[in-house]
A and B are shown apart, each in its own frame.
Chain A
Amino acid sequence: AQSVSQHNHHVILSEAASLELGCNYSYGGTVNLFWYVQYPGQHLQLLLKYFSEDPLVKGIKGFEAEFIKSKFSFNLRKPSVQWSDTAEYFCAVISGGGADGLTFGKGTHLIIQP
């Protein structure tokens, strides 16, 4: 079974700081990768996704992620965070045809201090 590891469970940053959240997955075959965001009290929303195109993926709200196949990584980045980025962030992977569903990491709780 595949697994997803998110290295930082809690991250606290000041506004305008740069952000990088780590994500590693275990599956060695073809994968589709996602980052989801969950704002307080809300459901999951798709931030960005990777589908065998350019390994540098740009998403909404200034987020981007880089797929590095050799490292099994898909780290999320943002050059300058805002207070409104306070949320929980989940990395997720689907392998093959997707019948087994999305496998999620345990999430990173990001707090941005004004």
Chain B
Amino acid sequence: EAQVTQNPRYLITVTGKKLTVTCSQNMNHEYMSWYRQDPGLGLRQIYYSMNVEVTDKGDVPEGYKVSRKEKRNFPLILESPSPNQTSLYFCASSFLGDNREGYTFGSGTRLTVV
């Protein structure tokens, strides 16, 4: 089954404790992206990647890092999480240059930073 898999689904952590949210897709998509969803703000792009070793900042990159060492994986790293990073995070992927199918989204990771 074609899908984007995120882990974990739920995470509660303390301020300053480094964490990684994993994202993996099995569709051979070049393009992968991370969004955060906050009430009243919709989804905002954090980082995106157009291919292996090619990443770029989205609209709200502060406090986040990403890496793209393999085509299928695109982990989101919070080196020193803060409470304002409490949010619902979605990973998405698509073919680059062909948007006819839109994006495929993961199931989301609900992060709480206390």
Using known A-B contacts A43-B107, A43-B108, A44-B90, determine if residue A90 contacts B43 with beta carbons closer than 8 Å.
Answer: yes
Interface residues on A, range: 20 to 34
Count residues of B near A (Cβ-Cβ below 8 Å). Answer: 26
A92 to B94, CA, bound (A): 15
Interchain nearest-CB distance for A81 vs B (Å): 22
Stretch of B16-24, B71-79, B95-103 that contacts chain A: B95-103
Q: Does A46 contact B (CB under 8 A)?
A: yes
A34 to B107, CA, bound (A): 19
Q: Which residue from B44, B99, B107, B108 sits with its C-beta under 8 Å from A98?
A: B99
Chain B residues closer than 8 Å to A34, beta-carbon distance? 102
* Chain B residues packing against A (C-beta within 8 Å): 31, 33, 35, 40-45, 48, 50, 58, 90, 92, 94, 96-97, 99-103, 105-108
A101-B45, A102-B33, A102-B45 are known; give 4 further A-B pairs, CB within 8 A: A34-B102, A46-B101, A49-B101, A101-B33
